[in-house]
Amino acid sequence: MAKKVARSSQKPRREEVSATTPAQLAAVSVCARHGNRPDELLEIFHEMQHELGFIPEETLPVIATALNRSRAEIYGVLTFYHDFKRHPVGKHIVKICRAEACQSMGTDALCAHAEQSLNTPLGGTTADGSVTIEQVFCLGNCALSPAIMVGERLYGKVDAHRFDEIIAGLNKEAAE
Amino acid sequence: MITVFVPRDAAALSVGADEVATAIASEAKKRKTEVRIVRNGSRGMLYLEPLVEVETAQGRVAYGPVTAKDVAGLFEAGFLEGKSHALGHGLTEEIPYFKNQERLTFARCGITDPLSIEDYRKYGGFEGLTKALAMKPIDIVTEVTTSGLRGRGGAGFPTGIKWKTVHDLKAPQKYVACNADEGDSGTFADRMLMEGDPFCLIEGMTIAGVAGGANKGYIYVRSEYPHSVHVLREAIEVARKANWLGDNIQGSGYSFDLYVRMGAGAYICGEETSMLESLEGKRGLVRYKPPIPAIEGLFGKPTIINNVMSFAAVPIILAKGGEFYKNYGVGRSRGTLAFQLAGNIKRGGLVEKAFGVTTRQLVEDWGGGTASGRPVRAAQIGGPLGAYIPVSKFDVPMDYEEFAKADAMVGHGGVVVFDDTVDMAKQARFAMEFCAIESCGKCTPCRIGSIRGVEVIDKIIADIDRDKNIALLEDLCVTMTDGSLCAMGGLTPFPVMSALKGFPDDFHKPAPNKFLDAAE
Ligand SMILES: Cc1cc2nc3c(=O)[nH]c(=O)nc-3n(C[C@H](O)[C@H](O)[C@H](O)COP(=O)(O)O)c2cc1C
Ligand code: SF4
Ligand code: FES
């Protein structure tokens, strides 16, 4: 039986977690590259996502240990920001702008086309795992609406036809 | 050797500028002609992007919008000598869209190579900072106060007063933080400046550092702007090497350094205290005020927070004097604003003009009406929290106070145009939906109110107890306005009510069938 500890004297204790899985090891080295500084948590998540495609649940305790923060805090940050993915996503992330300027140029129709042609709702991934489509609000390309972004690449004046071409280009890239 | 300019601005890239640059290089090689290709920022005539310019004895000659396919034909027509072509527009600076602007903040953008300090200095760069380095910090603050500069991020708070607060505090560590979250739909001025003239932002922030007594600055850039992040990081490196950042800047005894931080897709992180939380690596929950960030800001230290455009206006204010800047504008809105023409508009782009210009001038004279060719019905000004204004209000001059009187908001200067096919009830619904998605969740009127707002508007559209629900919506808007902690929940009623009041017909249409079915 565990030893009983008087409530009042019990300090919140942080469990030290050491890394074992490859994802955890990656997390440890990303944190180290950022000097284990808690204020760099967003940068750490960005970098991990870049390396692993998403932020696996199992990395959260080791990040918490590295940054000397509670697991709840790390989890809270992860879930607050739209960018961070907690589950695997498609090879390419296609962000479609749904904000007002793009609405005025028919982004609703573009979204419907994307959902239909890729056979997945916004936020979902194609069956072959190649493309995830998601909504974003403004890509700063509002004079050339509708706008989409694939990875770091921005596209303007995207109609259904151009959308199909861009997606075809991605699949071709993958085939090569 | 002939110099050809092909922008590296993200908007230009989005319509093929890289492909055009590659095509020009390979066509030149094929023709054994030597050309020097400079990747400049954008001139702001985004409807002409990719806008290719050729340097000639008469000045720079513009061609656009150029696609890779047009390149061979341009060579054939002799564009390297500035000869005419179907895509030609003559001298860039004579194009009325450009010529009729008053470019102070954007004086260099699109002209220079954004990463060349030589270019920057050739066009007046670092003159403001050089002066500032020789001034007493309080005199810098006074100069900014004299200019009448007000925050360009939306709220329009006098910049000089903010700087004075930080200046007057005694603290071992202070910070400068730049708000480059630019989340408003219809805005891209911050992005254009960061990509087209990054040293201008660096210079403005350094002047703020000297004035406020801060030796460290952060630029919080939204993750939707990867190009801006890259350009800024490179520019900071270049500036450090040339000792325009770092220790003992130009032997002045002042030290200042800058760091870029990337956001992660949260609109609320544009609210300054949410941005501070995010910069500290936390959830972007809005902080209670007081204390104001000038007193307890980043890591609890006094912090000057300004928008990109506010900082970028400072170098010219210091170089030419506060009086010079103040001479532009009207009423209490001094200087220029970089208006952004967006949405359903024929000639979208950036128009820097003194305050006092009207929406009609911007939308008609510069913008040329809608892209669809249909009549203009409304414009949303000042981002997703800004009002929708009907054409009947297009003659109100752009002026913080005049706009407020007309129940509208200048904000960050974005003008999003809609044609007559727009359904304003749908736009009102979106305003609530956006608030529900982007609310930080700290207070109830915003977090829950926005979700209720969507539901109520759905009922109005579906013609379920319409009058009762319209009254309910108005009531909800009052609660959100009065009861929200920040302007996210506090201003969302603005676009909603402006749609309801300005375009009542759209809330009284026969119910579409699918909504009836869904509401059963
Ligand atoms: C929901 C919300 C979003 C905001 N987004 C931005 C933004 O993207 N960029 C910005 O500069 N200011 C934004 N602001 C305004 C900032 O809170 C703050 O007023 C501004 O950064 C101060 O700088 P300025 O005085 O130079 O305008 C936002 C405010 C709110 C309430
Ligand atoms: S109004 Fe909305 S965004 Fe602002 S503090 Fe409240 S919940 Fe957060
Ligand atoms: S609204 Fe779509 S890019 Fe700005």
Task: Compute mean pLDDT per 10 residues along chain B, 520 residues long, and list them.
Answer: 97 98 98 97 98 97 98 97 97 98 98 98 98 98 98 96 98 98 97 98 98 98 98 98 98 98 98 98 97 97 98 98 98 98 98 98 98 98 97 97 95 97 98 98 97 98 97 98 97 98 96 59
Phi/psi of residue B383, each to 5°?
85, -175
Please tell me the distance in Å from A101's CA to the nearest CA on chain B. Answer: 4
The residue type found at B58 is: Q
CA of B285 to nearest chain A CA: how many angstroms apart? 9
Give me the DSSP letters along B342-391.
Answer: EES-TT-EEEEEETT-BHHIIIIIIT-S-SSSSPEEEEEESSTTSPEEEG
Note the maximum CA span of chain B: 75
Residue range of the domain that includes A59? 3-80
Distance from the B153 Cα atom to the nearest Cα atom in chain A, whole angstroms: 15
DSSP helix/strand/coil, B59: strand
Cβ-based interface (< 8 Å): residues of A facing B = 37-43, 45-46, 73, 76-77, 80-84, 95, 99-105, 136-145, 147, 149, 152-157
Whole-angstrom Cα Rg for chain B: 24
Sign of CA dihedral B41, B43, B47, B48: negative
Class of domain B117-326: alpha beta
Indicate whether A52 pLDDT > 90. yes
The pTM score is 0.96
Specify whether the CB–CB gap between B344 and B370 falls below 8 A.
yes
Judge whether A87 lies within some domain: no
Residue A48, CA distances (Å) to A56, B280, B492 in order: 9, 18, 35
B205 interfaces chain A, CB cutoff of 8 Å: no
Query: What is the 8-class DSSP label of residue A16?
Result: P
Ligand 3 contact, A136 CB (< 6 A) = no
A15 pLDDT band, cuts 50/70/90, is confident
Nearest to B454 by CA among B482, B481, B425: B425
Predicted pLDDT at A2: 46
Say whether pLDDT at A143 is over 60: yes
* pLDDT value of position B382: 95
Residue where one domain finishes, among candidates A53, A80, A107: A80
Q: What is the pLDDT of residue A5?
A: 43
**By the 8 A CB rule, do A63 and A74 touch?**
yes
Number of domains in chain A: 2
**Which residues of chain A neighbour B225 with C-beta distances below 8 Å?**
140
Task: Identify which of B259, B234, B260, B232 has the alpha carbon closest to the alpha carbon of residue B246.
Answer: B259
**pLDDT averaged over chain A?**
92
For residue A69 the two structure tokens come to 């923060």
- Domain boundary, last residue among A38, A57, A80: A80
Ligand 3 contacts CB of residue A126 (under 6 A):
no
Please list the residues that pair with A30 across neighbouring strands: none
User: Is the Cα torsion angle B248, B252, B255, B257 positive or negative in sign?
Assistant: negative
Classify residue B250 as left (phi > 0), alpha (psi -120 to 50) or beta: left
Separation CA B480–CA B486 (nearest Å):
10
Give CA–CA dist B261/B393, Å, rounded: 40
Residues found in chain B: 520
Ligand 3: does its nearest atom lie under 6 Å from the Cβ of A148? no
Are B419 and A73 a contacting pair at CB < 8 A?
no
The CATH code that applies to domain B329-419 is: 3.10.20.600
Q: How far is the CA of B297 from the centre of ligand 3 (A)?
A: 30
List the helix and strand counts (H, then E) for chain B: 23, 16
- Domain end call among A80, A110, A129: A80
- CA atoms B36, B40, B45, B46: torsion sign: positive
- How far apart, in whole angstroms, are the C-alpha atoms of residue B351 and residue B102? 8
How far, in Å, from the CA of A107 to the mean position of ligand 3? Answer: 10
Contact B128, B317 (CB under 8 A): yes
- The CA-CA-CA angle for residues B211, B213, B215, to 5°, reads 115
Residue B271: its pLDDT value, please? 98
* Separation of alpha carbons A67 and A31, rounded Å: 8
Same domain for A68 and A105, yes or no, is no
Whether residue A97 is found in the same domain as residue A66: no
Strand ranges for B64-221 from DSSP E: 88-91, 175-180, 216-221
- Residues B324, B317: Cα–Cα separation, whole Å: 7
Sign for the CA dihedral angle at A101, A104, A107, A110 comes to: negative
Interface contacts (A, B; CB < 8 Å): 154
Contact A144 B263 (CB under 8 A): no
Q: What dotted CATH number matches B424-507?
A: 1.20.1440.230
Give A80's contacts in chain B (Cβ within 8 Å). Answer: 266, 283-284
Does B115 touch chain A if contact means CB atoms closer than 8 Å?
no
Interchain proximity B384–A141, CB inside 8 Å: no
- A155 falls within a domain: yes
Measured CA to CA, the distance from residue B368 to residue B499 in angstroms comes to 24
d(CA B371, CA B352): 21
**β-strand B303-307 against B175-180: which pairing, if any?**
parallel
Examine residue A85 and state whether it is found in any structural domain, yes or no.
Answer: no
* Closest residue to A141, CB basis, from B188, B265, B417: B188
Contact of A90 with A150, CB cutoff 8 Å: no
* B226/A contact by beta carbon, under 8 A: yes
Q: A117 and A49 in one domain?
A: no
Angle, CA B8 vertex, CA B7 and CA B14 arms, to 5° = 95
Residues of chain B positioned with their CB less than 8 A from the CB of A140: 10-11, 182, 187-188, 191, 224-225
Identify the closest residue of chain A to B18 by CA–CA distance. Answer: A153
Residue B129, phi-psi category: left (phi > 0), alpha (psi -120 to 50), beta (remainder): alpha
- How far apart, in whole angstroms, are the C-alpha atoms of residue B308 and residue B269? 15
Condensed to tens digits (0 to 9), the pLDDT of residues A74-101 reads 999 999 999 999 999 999 999 999 999 9
Asked if B506 is an interface residue toward chain A (Cβ–Cβ < 8 A), one would say no
Distance in angstroms (rounded) separating the CA atoms of residues B63 and B40: 15
The topology (CATH level 3) of B2-99 is Glutaredoxin (3.40.30)
Residue A12: per-residue pLDDT? 52
Identify the residue among B14, B261, B283, B339 best suited for mutation to test binding to A, counting A beta carbons within 10 A and taking the highest. Answer: B14
CA dist., res. B490 & res. A99, Å (int)? 19
State yes or no: pLDDT of A9 exceeds 90: no
Q: Give yes or no: residues A11 and A70 share one domain.
A: yes
- Strand locations in A80-147, DSSP E? 92-97, 131-136
For chain A, how big is the Rg over CA atoms in Å?
Answer: 21
User: Are A100 and B343 in contact (CB < 8 Å)?
Assistant: yes
Say yes or no: A65 and A116 in one domain.
no
- Residue in B359, B315, B361, B306 with CA at minimum distance from that of residue B335: B315
Burial class (CB in 10 A: 0-12, 13-18, 19+), A127: exposed
Q: Is the domain of A73 the same as that of A102?
A: no
Domain boundaries, chain B: 2-99, 117-326, 329-419, 424-507
For ligand 3, whether the C-beta of A160 sits within 6 Å is no
| HSE value, Cβ hemisphere, 13 Å, CA-based, for B81 | 5
For residues B115 and B234, is the Cβ–Cβ distance under 8 A?
Answer: yes
Distance A162 CA to ligand 2 centre (A): 38
Query: C-alpha angle B410/B411/B412, rounded to 5°?
Result: 115
Domain match, A98 and A131 both: yes
3-state per-residue secondary structure call for B413-455: CEEEEEECCCCHHHHHHHHHHHHHHHCCCCCHHHHCHHHHHHH
Quick one: pLDDT at residue A4? 47
Strand order in the sheet with B88-91: B35-38, B2-5, B52-56, B59-63, B88-91
How far, CA to CA in Å, does B194 sit from each of A140, B178, B203, B232?
12, 11, 12, 7
Considering CB atoms only, which of A83, A105, A144 is closest to B223? A83
Mutate which of B145, B307, B450, B486 for ligand 1 pocket (most atoms within 8 A of beta carbon): B307
Whose CA is closest to A41, among A88, A80, A93?
A: A80
Considering the domain architecture, whether residues A100 and A57 belong to the same structural domain is answered as: no
What φ, ψ does residue A172 adopt, rounded to 5°?
-65, -45
What are B501's two structure tokens?
């009041």
Comparing CA positions, the residue from A14, A125, A73 lying closest to residue B277 is A73
Residue of A nearest to B342 (CA): A143
Instruction: For residues A14 and A73, state if they share a domain.
Output: yes
Query: Is residue A42 lining ligand 3, measured as CB closer than 6 Å?
Result: no
Same domain, residue pair A168 and A127: yes
